[in-house]
Structure 1
């Protein structure tokens, strides 16, 4: 059987474990990818079985679930740490830095699912013992469990494996789970929001596979991209963790990792453009929750085995760095929770920020192979690298800003908005019955997209705030911005936010030119 050779000590340990398992008549703890020489990927049942067996083999590994899918599948998770049980209360009481590791949000991008299982197996077999001193790890390898079971040979058809097929991008509702973090239309997104409310991880890593540009990087990455991300979190990642990990990978393995991007001619200039700043995306959303978030994108035209290996290397180096800086990580997120003040200005919209000078981007090529089962073309990364200087656009600058109020006033009749705010973890209080100095947003016009996106017609509001006085009605609620989720609250409730409730059409039947946006503000500051 061919096994993934990551480094000689790990390979020797794995070989010894296989021999011991054979002598004892036990089935070795291998992923389906390993068992099939990386021709196939794990099913939902296999992932659940793998996590359960890991928990049975090691008392510091605990099997649990953190929610469910649209079709009712429990979302499995392994909690690794010196704990008596895997409950949120036990994890939060541990005093350790908590790291959430997520794979398979897009179920055709399966390298994270396999890499997380393999890393968990390595921990069970004694690797990285030092991590348990400083961290509790939450392994969630199969977030889009329904999509994972919809395997066909044509999903992501030009991606180089697994040749036995892979799942689909959306969940069973047809929703892209990596566009659902603000609106929470899927049970999966509501489940992960609840996980963040309950376990409150300090760091989150979301594992993907790329599309697009034929570059020369085995893996690209991104910190949170929204300009409202707390500055110290942004600096920790851009100036500390990510450069360190990049250097370690190059030194140990000879592979190049870099900021996620695609070579594009937007605006008439060729450049290296990252994706989107909006918090509908996982890493951007988590940044607005004041937590350290990292997106990983293994290169789709690298072989499946290389994609899994690159992802595994990346997660290992992240965890080494977080282990060495565990106290600093906890301080950074605690400070971020206290950093927002009424009267500050935050971004409602954003635009790519151009680098001051061109940077050297490593471009590559592919060779075409034939899928052995379908006869269709597959693209494989060629061992070709050339440097192309271009400006990079891997961060965002505010394009429209607004003052942060002291609080928002949400009418009782906006039941859906109140339910979703609570699902995010926003703290709500009864508004009382005392007359307040407030601001209401007067709508000049509303623009609505003709075509639905992710099941909703997005809307853009134009108008301005006006001072007024109002007396809350019975049942109205207040959401203060001086809570830890104040940045997220601002993005959800501001009428001109490009990813808030108004944008997603939740208030469509209440929005018209000349009228008032139904959520008022207490200005403060």
Structure 2
């Protein structure tokens, strides 16, 4: 192999990762030399104005997306560098694409499968290069930073899409509609013998026959394939207590994460997590093995995967109810044969507490509890369609980016709809990824007439992309638009009162509105301690008086047509 085709990792001391500039220049040159194998180019621009690139490898020189989709060809998607401080996937992808270009037998093994890849997704973070941000990680010598230019974690941005980068991803993913995705990472956490651990789309959440195929067929094959390649792999080590000894739990990757987002499109997703304490060379080799194991399985089983995805999409259009929230089954764990190190506790030299440590001279292997079942704990009846009024542009844009079919209201009309009254919301006390995320939401379903305007959007659920619409528009969904604060303005009552004037008027309201008086008596009985608080008393009367009712206040502004 000519020196020019060696990757920066291969040219170095095996403890170095490519820079962004070297990575893109290297792919440009590779594509120039092998135009019949690789198509590489810019697909968007980051928030800092840095080009974002993607590449396509095809065994027959066909790169046109529409032609590939018309032919029904399988698509395998490899995303790299979402956290540039976890770069082994970036370097491994370069070598794999080079091998496709220079090894005819490796290219031929792709068959009809198309290999789609993003070489370095978080381009902003990749330019923020140092050797200090990954506190507990063994190499490489320098690397990029987790946050992008707006200090967001892109692996929390797939639904809210605050970043231009995530918007580019949404559009790219929807356009190609991959069958399987691998998004490469490095882990933090406990110490153990494995170099590679694996997060996958949670099968119960993926659901149906596709989820069962992942659990019963693909995952066992992945673990066996990694074992055969010399890289024993275990599920992502997410201890239910301090250490793995007492069990691990599947990571419930909701739609803010890459694999959870992929599930909204009925795509099987993996987040391989190499172990931070292992040398970079080992992490690189195990990541290459993992990506190739997933790719080879996809090539061999593409027909079945595609058939299961088609069936899942078709079933979406006729569902009468939708799960929107899942929780771990704590009563029925499975088991996993785990290879760990003895966990010990000893006094800290920094304070008066005891600290956890692991003794690598005392390895152990035994079955541990594996909490890998997550049944739905909130399931909702499916409306025929949602209505999203046109003023809620942020929600509408994201539905469009994700291929959700919508229709426009042609003329103003009144419509009988179901809607949610927002009873209460509990938000996080501190900002989370730029938002005050709503952890707890209490709703009351109501029915009534609303005014629809010409140009409002109707979102019918008899479509392949119904799942994306349901999980983002239903407020109780794990990562709904509501939880991320897209509709926060409806939580604010717009008018107020002057207490010294309203005090007398409030008494008149209680005489004029019997329903209000009854509510007030019930409130007084339930809250005797608040009767000495003028603000609390007047707030209750003002908020519940029919005369001063603001219909939009606490009315969730996405409606349901039965």
Q: Same fold per TM (> 0.5)?
A: yes
Report matched runs for 1:246-285 at 5 Å.
246-253=223-230, 255-265=231-241, 270-285=246-261
> Counterparts of 1:82 and 1:381 in 2: how far apart (Å)?
48
> Are residue 466 (structure 1) and residue 443 (structure 2) matched?
no
> Counterparts of 1:100 and 1:52 in 2: how far apart (Å)?
19
Q: Once the 2 structures are TM-superposed, how far is the Cα of residue 380 of structure 1 from its aligned partner? A: 12
- For 1:408, which of 383, 386, 400 is the aligned residue? 386
Report matched runs for 1:82-93 at 5 Å.
82=59, 84=61, 86-93=63-70
- For 1:431, which of 394, 404, 409 is the aligned residue? 409
Residue 148 (structure 1) aligns with: 126
Residue 28 (structure 1) aligns with: 4
More helix by percentage = 2
Q: Once the 2 structures are TM-superposed, how far is the Cα of residue 421 of structure 1 from its aligned partner? A: 1.8
- For 1:396, which of 360, 371, 374 is the aligned residue? 374
Q: Once the 2 structures are TM-superposed, how far is the Cα of residue 381 of structure 1 from its aligned partner? A: 11
Does the CA contact (< 8 Å) of 1:230 and 1:288 recur in 2?
no
Deviations along 1:358-410, one digit per CA (max 9) or x if unpaired, are 433221479xxxxxxxxxxxx99968741243321234222222112111001
**Which is worse superposed, 339-348 or 455-464?**
339-348
Name the CA shift for 1:380/1:308 in 2 (closer, same or farther; >3 Å).
farther
Residue 497 (structure 2) aligns with: none
> Counterparts of 1:489 and 1:301 in 2: how far apart (Å)?
40
SS in 2 for 1:339: helix
Report matched runs for 1:59-70 at 5 Å.
59-70=36-47
**Structure ID, larger Rg:** 2
Q: Once the 2 structures are TM-superposed, how far is the Cα of residue 143 of structure 1 from its aligned partner? A: 0.5
Cα RMSD for the two superposed structures: 2.5
Does the CA contact (< 8 Å) of 1:301 and 1:381 recur in 2?
no
SS in 1 for 2:106: coil
> Counterparts of 2:243 and 2:476 in 1: how far apart (Å)?
25
Residue 517 (structure 1) aligns with: 556
Q: Once the 2 structures are TM-superposed, how far is the Cα of residue 345 of structure 1 from its aligned partner? A: 2.7
- Normalised by the length of structure 1, the TM-score is 0.86
- Normalised by the length of structure 2, the TM-score is 0.81
Residue 336 (structure 1) aligns with: 312
Residue 464 (structure 2) aligns with: 484
Count the aligned residue pairs: 485
> Counterparts of 2:14 and 2:268 in 1: how far apart (Å)?
32
Report matched runs for 1:18-417 at 5 Å.
21=2, 27-58=3-34, 59-82=36-59, 84=61, 86-126=63-103, 127-162=105-140, 164-225=141-202, 227-253=204-230, 255-265=231-241, 270-341=246-317, 344-354=320-330, 355-364=332-341, 385-417=363-395
Residue 446 (structure 1) aligns with: 425
> Counterparts of 2:221 and 2:295 in 1: how far apart (Å)?
12
Unaligned stretches of 5+ in structure 1? 1-16, 22-26, 367-378
Name the CA shift for 1:393/1:184 in 2 (closer, same or farther; >3 Å).
same
Residue 529 (structure 2) aligns with: none
Does the CA contact (< 8 Å) of 1:233 and 1:291 recur in 2?
no
> Counterparts of 1:116 and 1:268 in 2: how far apart (Å)?
31
> Counterparts of 2:393 and 2:334 in 1: how far apart (Å)?
50
Does the CA contact (< 8 Å) of 1:55 and 1:78 recur in 2?
no
**Which is worse superposed, 318-327 or 504-513?**
504-513
Q: Once the 2 structures are TM-superposed, how far is the Cα of residue 122 of structure 1 from its aligned partner? A: 1.3
**Which is worse superposed, 427-436 or 105-114?**
427-436
Q: Once the 2 structures are TM-superposed, how far is the Cα of residue 437 of structure 1 from its aligned partner? A: 3.9
Unaligned stretches of 5+ in structure 2? 344-356, 493-542, 544-552
Q: Once the 2 structures are TM-superposed, how far is the Cα of residue 316 of structure 1 from its aligned partner? A: 1.1
Does the CA contact (< 8 Å) of 1:51 and 1:77 recur in 2?
no
Does the CA contact (< 8 Å) of 1:405 and 1:521 recur in 2?
yes
> Counterparts of 2:431 and 2:252 in 1: how far apart (Å)?
19
**Which is worse superposed, 236-245 or 434-443?**
434-443
SS in 2 for 1:334: helix
Does the CA contact (< 8 Å) of 1:226 and 1:278 recur in 2?
no
> Counterparts of 1:132 and 1:259 in 2: how far apart (Å)?
27
Does the CA contact (< 8 Å) of 1:342 and 1:405 recur in 2?
no
Q: Once the 2 structures are TM-superposed, how far is the Cα of residue 347 of structure 1 from its aligned partner? A: 2.7
Q: Once the 2 structures are TM-superposed, how far is the Cα of residue 233 of structure 1 from its aligned partner? A: 2.3
